[in-house]
Amino acid sequence: MRRIQVVIYREDEFWVAQALNVECSSFGKTPDEARDAIREALELLLDDDSGLEIQEDTDARLEELVV
**Which string of DSSP letters, residue by residue, matches 7-55?**
EEEEETTEEEEEESSSS-EEEESSHHHHHHHHHHHHHHHTTS-TT-B--
pLDDT in tens, 8-29: 999 999 999 998 888 999 999 9
The structure's pTM equals: 0.74
Higher per-residue pLDDT: 12 or 48 = 12
Q: Is 12 left (phi over 0), alpha (psi -120 to 50) or beta?
A: left
Judging by beta carbons within 10 Å of its beta carbon (0-12, 13-18, 19+), is residue 6 exposed, middle or buried? buried
